[in-house]
Amino acid sequence: MTWVYLLKRKADVSHIFPNFTKMIKNQFRVSIKGIRTDNARDYFNKILSPYFEKEGIIHQSSCVNTPQQNGLAERKNRHLLETTRALLFQHQVPKHYWGEAVLTSTYLINRIPSRVIGFKSPLNYLSELFSKNNFYSKIPPRIFGCVTYVHVHKHHRDKLDARALKCVFIGYYITQKGYKCYHPPSKRFLMSKDVTFYENQSFFNKTYLQEDNIDIEDKNTNVFDISSFQIPSRQQSSMNSPLAKSPNLTRETLQGETTTTDRPLQVYRRRVQPIQTLMQAQESELG
């Protein structure tokens, strides 16, 4: 089972981890025996270190530049990143929705059968061990980034207002049995069970995968499309050259130069002198 918390700062782990420990102890009646991290200073501070000593939690850390010692966490991070990348690429979702994509990936991974636990999902396996804890939402999964229409109830609209809002589906709520949708014009998150999905349609028409690092003027240019480019003729290139802006040159002189260059090349051969003239020239030089 995987739990993910989004942190604005890495130092917030000092407040998140004690709350997570209380949740595990309260829901599953078990205590965390140990924890393994890297050597970041955020895990060795004045809040976590005394808390570990108080709760009897053994805090282990991996050696410097040796991430393989914490292989379980590294493999889980890679699994989450690969799933998140697939969700973003599927419907061309912009990168700034990465937080919601990570939470959605966690939701799906916990509900996908795994070969390690006998082709059961982590949520079902946990439910068998702790049958009394049946508080996780079990709504049907949907495609991330698709077009949705969220129903607007009567007490939230007038008679002439729209009965549904076009939104983008970006995940699920853990504490509520509903779908999380985002309305970009109003920048609001909507939670509702009355949602109509168009899973074959992407909310984002453009491809945002590579446009985050491209300038605005280059967005409408296709790198591999050379049909719109034309090679200028010799006369046009000569007129556009810097020499054409000189005050001593006129249009007639440039046209005259271009016409002369169009003539075929002339081949000059060296004239062969007779042998007698060559011998007389050598004798005169010696005498």
Give the three-state DSSP class for 181.
Answer: strand
pLDDT level of residue 156 (50, 70, 90 thresholds): confident
| Token pair of 38 as six digits | 């890297």
Q: Please provide residue 200's backbone torsions phi and psi, each rounded to the nearest 5 degrees.
A: -85, -5
Q: Please report, for the chain, the start and end positions of each structural domain, with discontinuous segments joined by +.
A: 8-61, 146-202
What pLDDT does residue 278 have? Answer: 58
Q: Please provide residue 51's backbone torsions phi and psi, each rounded to the nearest 5 degrees.
A: -65, -40
pLDDT level of residue 102 (50, 70, 90 thresholds): very high
What pLDDT does residue 206 have? Answer: 63
Contact between 55 and 33 under an 8 Å Cβ cutoff? The reply is no
CA dist., res. 68 & res. 65, Å (int): 9
DSSP 81: H
pLDDT tens column, 50-84:
999 999 999 999 998 898 899 999 999 999 999 99
Kindly state the average pLDDT of the residues 205-213.
Answer: 52
The greatest distance separating any two alpha carbons of the chain, rounded to the nearest whole angstrom, comes to 128
- Closest alpha carbon to 129 in 201, 36, 30, 221: 30
**Helices in 131-241 by DSSP H: which ranges?**
234-239
What pLDDT does residue 127 have? Answer: 86
Burial of 160 (0-12, 13-18, 19+ CB in 10 A): exposed
Burial of 5 (0-12, 13-18, 19+ CB in 10 A): exposed
Give the whole-number percent of the chain exceeding pLDDT 70.
Answer: 71
pLDDT tens column, 157-184:
888 889 999 999 999 988 888 999 999 9
User: Could you tell me which residues come within 8 angstroms of residue 30 by beta carbon, excluding any fewer than 6 positions away?
Assistant: 24
pLDDT level of residue 132 (50, 70, 90 thresholds): confident
Q: Please provide residue 28's backbone torsions phi and psi, each rounded to the nearest 5 degrees.
A: -115, 0
| Token pair of 271 as six digits | 């004239």
**Which one has a higher pLDDT value, 284 or 197?**
197
CA dist., res. 2 & res. 125, Å (int): 12
pLDDT at 200 over 70: yes
What pLDDT does residue 129 have? Answer: 87
Residue given tokens 């939104």 in the structure block: 167
Radius of gyration of the chain (CA): 37
What pLDDT does residue 258 have? Answer: 47
Give the three-state DSSP class for 146.
Answer: strand
At position 284, the amino acid (one-letter code) is S
Residue-averaged pLDDT of the chain: 81
Strands 34-37 and 58-61: parallel
| Token pair of 284 as six digits | 């005169």
Kindly state the average pLDDT of the residues 138-147.
Answer: 92
pLDDT level of residue 277 (50, 70, 90 thresholds): low
pLDDT level of residue 142 (50, 70, 90 thresholds): very high
**Which one has a higher pLDDT value, 229 or 28?**
28
